[in-house]
Structure 1
Amino acid sequence: MLVLAKEPVPGRVKTRLTPPFSPGQAARLAAAALADTLHTLLHVPAARRVLVLDGHPGPWLPAGWEVVPQAGGGLDRRIAAAFAGCTGPALLVGMDTPQLTPELLAPATAPGAWPPGRAWFGPAADGGFWALGMDTPRPALVLGVPMSTSGTGRAQRARLVAAGLDVADLPVLRDLDTAADAGEILAAAPEGRFAAAYRAVAGQARAGRG
């Protein structure tokens, strides 16, 4: 299990949340989303759990995770490098879906979920993807895919299909990018660290405090 994440530092993460939130509030939401994701994945079967991190670990990191630094370059290169560090079936998840549950990942983590040639793909509502898995990691299948566009997911999935992989889809989830996304995620997951952080910072934002 791989999670690709950026240290939640104000001004460096979730800049599209500002406004209405301040950089500090956006970082707090990012930290809560990341913490929810990492804690959820502790309840998912995995031989290894690796956080591929741009930055330094913080109090949001639970025990049970190995931390390795992200590679440099664009997002495609960073994802490819994360897969290059794996020798068997690997499933990569981002830090932007705190509504994730073990049940949503169950199709990809159940016994028999990784026959030879299997790939798993989790499409995001904005046209990207929130999960990507391959039974035998092939970093080259990510390199060159245009990232952070409305066609990213379509291009990445097509790359997997063109390589002859049997692509199985996970449910569509919404990434945390904008304030509207945050509200939708809260509705989908009204409990947890992200929900608590959202309610706190939303109240501060309405009161004009940062």
Structure 2
Amino acid sequence: MIQLLVMAKAPVPGRVKTRLCPPCTPEQAAAIAAAALADTLDTAGAVPAVRRTLVLDGDHPVPPGWSCVPQRGAGLGERLANAYADTALPGVPSLLIGMDTPQVTAEALTHAALALREFGTVLGPAADGGWWALGLTEPSQAAVLAAVPMSTTATGALTVAALRTLGTEPALLPPLRDCDTAADALAIAAMCPPGARFPVAVAGHLPVPDVSVGRAR
């Protein structure tokens, strides 16, 4: 068994999904973020775990059966390192994901949990060069994340390199696409299962460009 951590930011207009603006307004971007978070929590809630913890920046309702700890630290790398430290359970590996891959399935997370138990460390690469999941058997290993530049096209590779300095080689999970831009949101919405909130939010809150504007007559 593992514990699941979901790293999230409260969906407050002007503080989340700012790269969706434009074409979205801050309110529309926040609505899309709220749907992404809700779908992620639903999916994670369906995966067997010793404990599920929302590692939260801001104020947001916590689902029944979940724990919650606040994010702390100056930068994202430091916040990630502290997320592992603040939730450590002796003898229980931790699998951390974010709220930017609402298309993730319970099957994918179950596979990640099994791989974490088998290999000790796992990393899920993201299409933009970052990562969408990181599983560690020893929470103290996350301390190396504080020195890894985050939100770059090299973040995934640099995270692997940092873990190698500790003598661990993470097993790689299947890659997923993060939701950062409008193009990402549209592509991810098409990957979500029926009944998911994210495609509905994207359809309702992501303005579609008028391709007829500027078209030659």
TM-score for both structures, normalised by structure 1: 0.91
Counterpart of 1:186 (choices 185, 189, 209) is 189
- The aligned counterpart of 1:123 is 125
- The aligned counterpart of 2:95 is 91
8 Å contact from structure 1 (residues 121, 133) kept in 2: yes
Aligned-residue offset at 1:139: 2.6
8 Å contact from structure 1 (residues 45, 109) kept in 2: no
Which one-letter code corresponds to 1:51 in the other structure? Answer: L
Deviation by residue 1:38-70 (Cα, 9 ceiling, x = unmatched)? 000011111010001010113xx4322111111
- The aligned counterpart of 2:167 is 164
8 Å contact from structure 2 (residues 10, 56) kept in 1: yes
Counterpart of 1:201 (choices 196, 201, 205) is 205
Which one-letter code corresponds to 1:182 in the other structure? Answer: A
Which one-letter code corresponds to 2:108 in the other structure? Answer: L
Determine if the alignment matches structure 1 residue 100 to structure 2 residue 101: no
Aligned-residue offset at 1:161: 2.3
Aligned-residue offset at 1:201: 1.2
Alignment of 1:35-74 (within 5 A): 35-58=38-61, 61-74=62-75
Secondary structure of 1:148 counterpart = coil
Whole-angstrom distance in 2 between the partners of 1:190 and 1:92: 22
8 Å contact from structure 1 (residues 54, 69) kept in 2: yes
Determine if the alignment matches structure 1 residue 175 to structure 2 residue 178: yes
Secondary structure of 1:49 counterpart = strand
Deviation by residue 1:15-44 (Cα, 9 ceiling, x = unmatched)? 000011110000000000000000000111
Give the gaps of 5 or more residues in structure 1.
none
8 Å contact from structure 2 (residues 73, 82) kept in 1: no
Whole-angstrom distance in 1 between the partners of 2:10 and 2:201: 17
Give the gaps of 5 or more residues in structure 2.
211-217
**Structure 1 runs, 4 residues or longer, greater than 4 Å off:** none
Deviation by residue 1:66-98 (Cα, 9 ceiling, x = unmatched)? 111110310000000001121331011001000
Whole-angstrom distance in 2 between the partners of 1:120 and 1:113: 6
- The aligned counterpart of 1:153 is 156
Identity %: 53
Which one-letter code corresponds to 1:181 in the other structure? Answer: D
Which one-letter code corresponds to 1:133 in the other structure? Answer: G
Rg (Cα) greater in structure: 2
Determine if the alignment matches structure 1 residue 132 to structure 2 residue 134: yes
Whole-angstrom distance in 2 between the partners of 1:152 and 1:135: 21
8 Å contact from structure 1 (residues 44, 109) kept in 2: no
Deviation by residue 1:3-23 (Cα, 9 ceiling, x = unmatched)? 111100000000000011110
Number of residues of Structure 1 aligned to a counterpart in Structure 2: 202
- The aligned counterpart of 1:75 is 76
Q: CA RMSD in A?
A: 1.8
8 Å contact from structure 2 (residues 14, 26) kept in 1: yes
8 Å contact from structure 2 (residues 44, 109) kept in 1: no
8 Å contact from structure 1 (residues 51, 68) kept in 2: yes
Aligned-residue offset at 1:145: 0.3
TM-score for both structures, normalised by structure 2: 0.88
